[in-house]
Amino acid sequence: MNTIEAKIKSGLEGQGIRVHSVYKMPEAKEDRVLLAFNSMDNPRLTTARVEEALSALGVGEFKVPTTFERLSAFFLHLEVIMSARTEHEVTSGAE
């Protein structure tokens, strides 16, 4: 598992959101991460809660859709767009 995938999975689980799998989508125009949740383990899970948890990780900004995709009876899938965190430049006048 890639470091960003591992950080997302452990960060979400640290906030009480059980994640079945995290998969970074290859060769997408935008960096996308597919998150899979077991619906039995997360009966009250919302996309807003996932978005808040991802934002708290400090690894970048995430665009989270407003609804889950249910591709099977037991799993909820969420495809998240990820962008890099930008740092503000220190100006030369700051001494």
Q: Containing domain of residue 71, as a range?
A: 3-84
CATH number, domain at 20? 3.30.980
Rounded mean pLDDT, 59-73: 85
**Does any domain span residue 51?**
yes
**Does any domain span residue 73?**
yes
Q: What are the pLDDT digits (tens) for 18-45? A: 999 999 888 767 888 999 999 888 888 9
d(CA 29, CA 11): 25
In this prediction the pTM is 0.78
Of residues 63 and 83, the one with the higher pLDDT is 63
Cβ atoms within 10 Å of 19's Cβ, excluding its own: 20
**Does any domain span residue 32?**
yes
Please tell me the total count of domains within the chain: 1
**Does any domain span residue 95?**
no
Q: Is the pLDDT of residue 91 over 60?
A: no
**Does any domain span residue 94?**
no
**Does any domain span residue 80?**
yes
**Does any domain span residue 90?**
no
d(CA 19, CA 32): 16
- HSE-up of residue 29 (Cα within 13 Å, Cβ side): 0
Query: In this predicted structure, what is the pLDDT of residue 39?
Result: 86
**Does any domain span residue 92?**
no
